[in-house]
Chain A
């Protein structure tokens, strides 16, 4: 009880500090707008602040939007071609994880608020829902958090759309390359146990994985799909470990990724290759796994030698209050840097910005020479692995910003 009262008091104090901070913000905001030259550049977005998509938005998309806007405004605003600086004004809506809402919010941003630029929502489905409107109103569409194999078709259909996260095939094929190398080195056998969540992400990846693994000469000795509500994986893990496979692959969402890790640990299920889906690249993952994450593989990964990326991660932690994930966050942030630099070169004309994004070279957290190929970012880290406390990008032999994969995975601790 005492504890509760103390907590309530703390909450009340927090609330009042927030209110004070907000008042301060309003006051300083009002003066700083006057201090900067020019009217603000309006940037609008609709993200899922509530509903089932809120978790994903809040991990990968929203913090990066807020971080980027704050950084730009702290530096005096967006730079325009004539060297003048204009602050960013944000209009943010909640799409409530509803497709109809996100469509209407984008219509509202485009035709009512008449914003200068629109940033996309989270998720493949919602990015596709708004894509026709973004194209119709001529806004560059920087689809940051959307994994799709159809990006090459979409850039033809909507020529102002840009895709930053690759497709299932890319992720699976890069992983298959590693498996082939390991098999040839005699580190693993040719059997794979694979499970996947029965939802958009899992199905898309497993559909790409089946032919890719088989074409590489692997035998998928266990292939199960589980419903998204699953929380007990004891049976599945038992069957997978009986399948005689040295490689365990789970195309899972965060709750499953966390549960699989804990239960594999309890069951002492420790195959040489242990690959999980979304969540294994979250900064909280080592905490959930009790610190014993060495060797666990997943999608994404970062280059620990890349100082730009390290600086970005430090800044994210400082301003947002927590570290970004090791997969999509940096791609979303890079897409915003590209937008800012495109505006600096060609101004606020939407068509000119889209053209610059398509053909220009940019200096981003991903590297000094970031450019799109056919409106898609292809220089993505496809496979990551926990090595010495960081989730690093890996490839069969390392190099080109990736580390060499370290297999077999050591025992759970």
Chain B
């Protein structure tokens, strides 16, 4: 994190290469674990792009994730795959623009409630459309992808997401965002076009989330609203980003990786108590380290010096 870019980039590239080569050497199950983990690293990082600096807690993750999956389900037989992904990104972007324009003036708890409602609204709209217009509930995605193909796509997307996050953190835009997060009124007085900056970030973040859903869709073969608009996705993303620390570049990833592995271990070892343990973890994270693990470590270090 404090590494100079001249060192950090080659290191990151080497790690990326190792991760990309991994499925050739490990069993399918571990590729599946890496796949799920990379998906959540991307989701959490993309979520934190907007929600971290602005402190607007969004529960709309699954709205965009599900839209991405649905676009693939609808178009996978009509268009070549790269175009399907482009369409998914485009539709996610348009949806985020529409939502952002109408709601980013909401603040605090109102925004949280709205985003939770949005996920439900999108799900109901898709259901209504399928029931009354197309008369199909449940769509098939028959794309010739195995776990590792999906994993490679997600890995590329994760790299792009981290790169975007890094670039924004160094730009004027990042500075503007930090100002908004500290005090929106002051930021506005300092000449920052608050709404435009928030909107831009919201759209970038939502588009990346939409792409995660689109890339993962072929893994389930069968898509219906209750499958892809599962609210757990929103909550998991949120808790992962919060654990790692949503204000830092590597924070969400460092939250997503241990939590994902922990969840995986819990589902193997305690299949009957998963939900209870998940709930307890939520409470623990919010109470013990509201700023995330990385901030907690910093705190402890500073405390030690003082």
Q: Is A204's CB under 8 angstroms from B274's CB? A: no
Q: List A residues 124-146 near B (Cβ within 8 Å).
A: 124-125, 128-129, 131-132, 136
Q: A96-B267, A107-B28 are known contacts. Are A198 and B127 too (CB-CB below 8 A)?
A: yes
Cβ of A125 and Cβ of B227 under 8 Å apart? Answer: yes
Q: For residue A157, which residue of chain B has the nearest CB?
A: B142
Q: Quick check: B226 and A52 within 8 Å, CB to CB?
A: yes
Closest A residue to B216 by CB, please name it. A100
Residues of B within 8 A of A98 (CB): 230, 232
Residues of A contacting B216 in the complex (Cβ-Cβ under 8 angstroms) = 100
Interface pair A112/B219, CB less than 8 Å apart: no
Q: Which residues of B contact A207 (CB under 8 A)?
A: 135-136
A-facing residues in B124-178 (Cβ within 8 Å): 124, 127-128, 130-132, 135-138, 140, 142, 146-147
**Is B29 within 8 A of A107, CB to CB?**
yes
Asked if B272 is at the interface of the complex by the 8 Å CB criterion, the answer is yes
A100 to B130, CA, bound (A): 23
A346 at the interface (CB under 8 A from B): no
Cross-chain contact A50 with B275 (CB below 8 angstroms): yes
Within the complex, the shortest CB–CB distance from A350 to chain B, in Å, comes to: 16
Instruction: Given A104-B36, A107-B147, A203-B137, decide whether A93 and B272 contact each other with a Cβ distance below 8 A.
Output: no
Instruction: List, in ascending order, chain A residues with CB within 8 A of B33's CB.
Output: 104
Of all chain B residues, the one with the shortest Cβ separation from A101 is B267
Contact A112 B27 (CB under 8 A): yes
Interface centre among A99, A105, A108, A124 (most CB of B within 10 A): A99
**A49 interfacial contact with B, CB 8 Å:** yes
| A96 CB, nearest partner CB in chain B, Å | 6
- Flag whether A165 is at the interface (Cβ < 8 A): no
* CB-contacts of A98-118 with B (<8 A): 98-101, 103-105, 107-108, 110-112
Query: A94 on the interface (CB 8 Å rule)?
Result: yes
Chain B neighbourhood of A108, CB < 8 A: 29, 32, 268
Decide yes or no whether B221 CB sits under 8 A from chain A.
Answer: yes
Kindly provide the distance from the CB of A263 to the nearest chain B CB, expressed in whole angstroms. Answer: 22
Taken together as a complex, chains A and B put the C-alpha atoms of A101 and B271 apart, in Å, by 12
- The answer on a CB contact under 8 Å between B232 and A112 is no
Are A203 and B136 in contact, CB atoms less than 8 angstroms apart? Answer: yes
CA distance A104 to B150 in the complex (A): 13
Does B222 have its Cβ within 8 Å of any Cβ on chain A?
A: yes
Using CB atoms, name the residue of chain B closest to A97. Answer: B230
Bound Cα distance from A202 to B135, whole angstroms: 11
Q: How far is the CA of A128 from the CA of B141 in the complex (A)?
A: 10
Picked from A104, A105, A131, A199, the residue with its CB within 8 Å of the CB of B221 is A131
Check A199 against B271 for contact (C-beta < 8 Å).
Answer: no
CA distance A154 to B4 in the complex (A): 54
In the bound complex, what is the Cα–Cα distance between A128 and B217 (angstroms)?
A: 13
Tell yes or no: B110 within 8 A of A by CB.
Answer: no
Which residues of the other chain, B, contact A105 by a CB distance below 8 angstroms?
Answer: 267
Do residues B271 and A92 form an inter-chain contact, with CB atoms below 8 A? yes
Contact residues of A between 48 and 104, Cβ < 8 Å to B: 49-50, 52, 92-94, 96-101, 103-104
Q: How far apart sit A43 and B187, CA to CA, in the bound complex (Å)?
A: 61
Report if A225 contacts B (CB, 8 A).
yes
Query: Which residue of A124, A157, A225 contacts B138 across the interface (Cβ within 8 Å)?
Result: A124
Minimum Cβ distance to chain A for residue B278 (Å)? 9
Cβ–Cβ < 8 Å partners of B9 in chain A: none
Would you call B138 and A204 a contact (CB within 8 A)? yes
Interface residues of A in 144-168 (CB under 8 A from B): 157
Least CB distance, A306 to chain B, in whole angstroms: 33
Q: Using an 8 Å CB-CB cutoff, how does the interface string of B26-55 with A read, 1 for contact, 0 for none?
A: 011100110010000000000000000000
Whether the Cβ atoms of A129 and B222 lie closer than 8 Å is yes
A200 within 8 A of B: yes
Q: Using Cβ atoms and an 8 Å threshold, which residues of chain A touch B230?
A: 97-99
Number of A-B contacts (CB under 8 A): 101
Hey, which chain A residues are within 8 Å of B146, CB to CB? 136
Judge whether A94 and B219 touch: CB under 8 Å: no
Chain B residues within 8 Å of A198, by CB: 127-128, 131, 137
A100 B268 Cβ-Cβ under 8 A: no
Q: Decide if A100 touches B128 in the complex (CB within 8 Å).
A: no
The answer to whether A99 and B274 have CB atoms under 8 Å apart is no
| Contact indicator A128/B29 (Cβ below 8 Å) | no
- Across the interface, B28 reaches (CB within 8 A) one of A52, A111, A199, namely A111
Identify A94's interface contact among B36, B124, B131, B274, CB under 8 A: B274
Interfacial chain A residues near B81, Cβ < 8 Å: none
Residue of B nearest to A94 (CB): B271
Provide the bound-state CA to CA distance between A96 and B224, in Å: 16
Q: Give the interface centre of B136, B146, B267 by most chain A CB atoms within 10 Å.
A: B267
CB distance from A49 to the nearest CB of B (A): 6
A49-B222 in contact (CB<8A): no
Cβ contact within 8 Å between A49 and B271? yes
A204 → chain B closest CB, angstroms: 7
A128-B227 CB under 8 A given contacts A107-B147, A225-B131: no
Once the chains are docked, how many angstroms separate the CA of A227 from the CA of B146?
35
Q: Which residue of A lies closest to B140 (CB)?
A: A128
Report how far A97 CA is from B128 CA in the complex, Å.
22
- Which residues of the partner chain B approach A202 to less than 8 Å between Cβ atoms? 137
Taken together as a complex, chains A and B put the C-alpha atoms of A277 and B203 apart, in Å, by: 43
Given contacts A111-B27, A112-B27, A132-B221, contact A104 B135 (CB under 8 A): no
Q: Closest Cβ of chain A: how far from B150's Cβ, in Å?
A: 10
Given known contacts A98-B230, A203-B131, is B29 in contact with A112 (CB within 8 Å)? Answer: yes
Contacting A200 at CB < 8 Å: which of B32, B135, B138, B271? Answer: B138
Among B206-247, those with CB < 8 Å from A are 216, 219-222, 224, 226-228, 230, 232
Q: Which 9 A-B pairs have the closest CB atoms?
A: A203-B137, A128-B222, A94-B271, A111-B29, A99-B220, A198-B131, A107-B32, A111-B27, A107-B29
Residue positions of B touching A, CB distance < 8 A: 27-29, 32-33, 36, 124, 127-128, 130-132, 135-138, 140, 142, 146-147, 216, 219-222, 224, 226-228, 230, 232, 264, 267-268, 271-272, 274-275
Q: What are 22 contact pairs spanning A and B, CB under 8 A?
A: A93-B271, A96-B232, A96-B267, A96-B275, A97-B230, A99-B220, A100-B219, A100-B220, A104-B29, A104-B32, A105-B267, A110-B28, A111-B29, A112-B29, A125-B138, A125-B224, A128-B220, A129-B219, A129-B221, A199-B137, A225-B131, A227-B127
- Assuming A49-B272, A93-B268, A103-B220, what are 4 further A-B pairs, CB within 8 angstroms? A98-B230, A99-B220, A104-B36, A129-B227
